[in-house]
Amino acid sequence: MRLGELPDRLHEFDAVISCTASTLPIIGLGSVERALKRRRRRPMFMVDLAVPRDIEIEVKALEDIYLYTVDDLASVVQTAQANRQAAVAQAEAIVDAGVQNFLHWLEQRNSVPLIQQLNAQADEWRALEIARARKLLAKGEDVEAVMEALSRGLTQKMLHGALAELRAGDAAARERASTAVQHFFLRKER
């Protein structure tokens, strides 16, 4: 269609996107008002990408007109950019937390051999004390006395190394041992 036909046919369009090199607006307030009357107040979506504007700015004040200009789009772009930057910051925080968790897991993996050795030693002590308790029960010893001996034997085996460290070495070594014993054995359960 020719540009001259636009005022008479404007009512036919739900959306108008304009971007010409005209130095004056090509869509005026009057032609948009007439188009709205012919449309029986059905809304129109208009985008003016021209600089200077193709659509008179007063059109924006009309009901049932949704007019967006280059300035509006710049605002949308800035808002979207700010949202993207915020999302990037959130993503970086998530990645950092994941990396920290992974590094913590790796550090814990260094303790696995020691944990395995502790479990193996505890299992060995438990097996020795159970074997001793079975022998005592087979000889007809009192069950309560056997249970007492079993628990005492396990306790002594578990505390032997710590008690030996508290008695041996110089004052600094005993102080370190004392701190470790308090940390491992005298903690309050939460």
The answer to whether residue 190 scores a pLDDT higher than 70 is no
Q: Domain of 139? A: 110-185
Task: Write out pLDDT tens, residues 68-100.
Answer: 988 887 777 788 888 888 888 898 999 999 899
Total tally of structural domains belonging to the chain: 2
Q: 76 or 31: which carries more pLDDT confidence?
A: 31
DSSP states along 19-31 = ----SS-SB-HHH
Residue given tokens 């709205």 in the structure block = 36
**Per-residue confidence (pLDDT) for residue 82, from 0 to 100:** 84
Coil, strand or helix at 55: strand
Contact 126, 154 (CB under 8 A): yes
Residue given tokens 């054995």 in the structure block = 185
From CA 6, how far away is CA 98, in angstroms rounded?
Answer: 59
154 contacts: CB under 8 Å, gap ≥ 6 = 125, 126, 129
**Per-residue confidence (pLDDT) for residue 135, from 0 to 100:** 94
Q: Establish if 174 belongs to a structural domain.
A: yes
Q: Establish if 102 belongs to a structural domain.
A: no
119 shares a domain with 58: no
52 shares a domain with 114: no
180 shares a domain with 127: yes
Average pLDDT over residues 6-22: 94
Q: Establish if 79 belongs to a structural domain.
A: no
Q: Establish if 146 belongs to a structural domain.
A: yes
Contact 62, 28 (CB under 8 A): no
114 shares a domain with 181: yes
From CA 41, how far away is CA 33, in angstroms rounded?
Answer: 10
- Pick the last residue of a domain from 25, 46, 74: 74
116 shares a domain with 51: no
**Per-residue confidence (pLDDT) for residue 147, from 0 to 100:** 93
Q: Establish if 82 belongs to a structural domain.
A: no
67 shares a domain with 16: yes
pLDDT bin (cut points 50, 70, 90) of residue 43 is very high
Q: Establish if 89 belongs to a structural domain.
A: no
Q: Establish if 125 belongs to a structural domain.
A: yes
**Per-residue confidence (pLDDT) for residue 110, from 0 to 100:** 83
Contact 24, 54 (CB under 8 A): no
Instruction: For the full predicted model, state whether its pTM sits above 0.75.
Output: no
Q: What is the CATH number of the domain that holds 17?
A: 3.40.50.720
**Per-residue confidence (pLDDT) for residue 189, from 0 to 100:** 64
Nearest to 1 by CA among 12, 23, 180: 12
Task: Write out pLDDT tens, residues 100-125.
Answer: 998 998 888 888 888 889 889 999 99
Q: Establish if 65 belongs to a structural domain.
A: yes
Interhelix angle 143-167/112-138, rounded to 10 degrees, is 140
